[in-house]
Chain A
Amino acid sequence: MGPPDTRRHRFEEIYGKYHDAVLAYVVRRTDNGHDAADVLAETFLVAWRRLDEVPAGERARPWLFGVARRTLANLHRGARRRTALSERLRAELAHAHPHAAPATEPSAVAAAFRRLPEQDRELLALAGWEGLDFGEIAVVLGCSRNAVRIRMFRARRRFARELNTHEDLIEERVAPASEGGVA
């Protein structure tokens, strides 16, 4: 833990560089601006408090996503921690939040995507939306690169299958298979 100025400088650098990426990550995975604001604030609060653990360089990005992911998971479990840091942010995001756009996308692709288990959607989204490679996804999920590689293959295959069978299915929903937070 360096002197205060060094800490501030490092945090400002990380914040400046990754704020938008984390915000986008969070907005994509929340239903409303309040949740998005809380998760964003909490994520950077964790980064501030655990600044020494934030990896240098580009590795900081998946690390922050990993924190945001766990914060989201806690949110879903009802363990919300209001930081009181984010009132104004909440208000701004409440207006602008796109309200989980894919849910309303009518295309076959979106329907197939929605039918995938949660775990598959998460992987495909980390690659397709955040543009992460296998190594970075492994950082987010806290698992090995090899595991990501294997799971990604299965996810893509299931997605392809869902797309192929789309026309045979009428509103059939596959219950999301939760991994129970164990990555």
Chain B
Amino acid sequence: MSSTTAGSSTTVATLIPSRTAVRAKVRVRRKGSAQRVRTGISAIVIVVWCLLPFYWMIITAFRDVGFTYDTAFWPTHITLDNFTTAFSTALGNHLGQALLNSLFIGVCVTAIALLIGTFAAYALARLDFRFKGVVLGLILGASMFPGVALITPLFQLFTNIGWFGTYQALILPSISFVLPLTVYTLTSFFREMPWDLEEAARIDGCTQGQAFRKVILPLAAPAVFTTAILAFISSWNEYLISSQLSSDATQPVTVAIASFAGSQPHQEPYTAVMAAGTIVTVPLVILVLIFQRRIVAGLTAGGVKG
């Protein structure tokens, strides 16, 4: 209704700018700049809230253990000792081994999930078949499955067959949540792909193999790669199952960090833990920032927490 008023006033305004029209224009401009300021302040609050704890971890990691509780907001008493402590096997911190374990478990889980999940995702995205909704629902339900419901029987099973603390005992349960995530994310990506191009390539004289190799594979590669990153991150971040089924030799970084020893007896090894946390997190954060766009797409497509 008010839009018609605005319309009629502009016809008048072409000759004599009416007072209300001028006032309305000023109000819009003021509202615009006021909103810009508010957006700016909100943006700063969000960035500070998200980054400050992370920043605090990093500067504490470089702070001398004697100044653990220093409240300066910039790096002070800079040292690398905490990193030495974090890797010190003499103190019982197997961070080096734990990093390798996490890497190995993550790569295996990701490889298995992708190898198997790609086929399912292709079928779910491209083919029509009965019970498709059921299969999708089943896979989505599986990704929401509580980990504790798995560890009790697995704890007993793995103890009985002598797998307790082995790598396979950590890889298999992780598949329970990485595989659904992989299938779901890949399905979403595959749905968006321009599959018509495959047919076009065939018409242009490609064999089916060539069409797949030269057209589909390059198109699908980014999707598969993004899914691989998401799968790897969710495996790398897993704690519950590993904390119960791993041994000292096979424990991943999350478990290692949760049970850390410091250089000073009778003192919580905060600085060393922050150093270990920095080592575990920074590569991940860099990876995420590089592939930011695709990861956001993958996250919202899969809708599953990593």
Do these two chains interact?
A: no
**A contacts, CB < 8 Å to B:** none
**B contacts, CB < 8 Å to A:** none
